[in-house]
A = this chain, B = another copy of it.
């Protein structure tokens, strides 16, 4: 019997590293305890290199992902591929809350200009102030990049509207058209969860504010 080789304290610590991993995975939005558990056991049981590959990919992300210096989208260089693409409409700027929104709008192919990711919404509840968001850079970009129209594709929520009005007030003296996507975005919705058709309609039917 090799019992004495494995005092309970050591076992508890080791076993809890499995529980720990499941608990921290379960806290990630999009996962729950059940999914986290299935995920971990699958990775441990997989005969292929799944776990290795996952660690490599997460490490690459940690070491290389950073905000685009121009639009603050997630990027693996100084400037993201959308900002660096000369074929995008240079006169249009679309302001969104977060990187996921860029992905959703790109997928809809409803828009061919550039983006500006402000990185959140003003919120009294969460204590998010204008200084926490990438708002300052919008004025500079309008001038430097000769932007003619700024489309605000922010969520149709209270915080979204507050943020929209705060930024548009700041742009009152600038020579740009300000617009919002047409009705079609359901109230209280998260842009990521809209279907491509709705996004397409909303962008095509955008109207001056």
Give complex CA distance A20, B54 in Å. Answer: 10
Q: How many residues on chain A are close to B (CB under 8 Å)?
A: 62
A65-B18, A81-B15 are known contacts. Are A30 and B24 too (CB-CB below 8 A)?
Answer: no
Query: Is A5 engaged at the interface, CB distance under 8 Å to the other chain?
Result: yes
A12-B81, A65-B44, A98-B41 are known contacts. Are A17 and B76 too (CB-CB below 8 A)?
Answer: yes
Give complex CA distance A206, B51 in Å. Answer: 38
* Count of this chain's copies in the oligomeric assembly: 2
B37 with A30: CB separation less than 8 A: yes
A194 smallest CB distance to B (angstroms)? 13
A64 with B14: CB separation less than 8 A: yes
Question: What string of 1s and 0s marks CB contacts (under 8 Å) between A41-70 and chain B?
Answer: 111110000111111011111101100000
Query: Is A6 engaged at the interface, CB distance under 8 Å to the other chain?
Result: yes
Give complex CA distance A205, B147 in Å. Answer: 75
Query: Is A166 engaged at the interface, CB distance under 8 Å to the other chain?
Result: no
Residues of B with C-beta under 8 A to A98: 41, 45
Residues of B with C-beta under 8 A to A61: 17-18, 21, 40, 43-44, 51
Query: Is A188 engaged at the interface, CB distance under 8 Å to the other chain?
Result: no
Query: Which residue of chain B lies nearest to A66 when distances are taken between CB atoms in the complex?
Result: B44
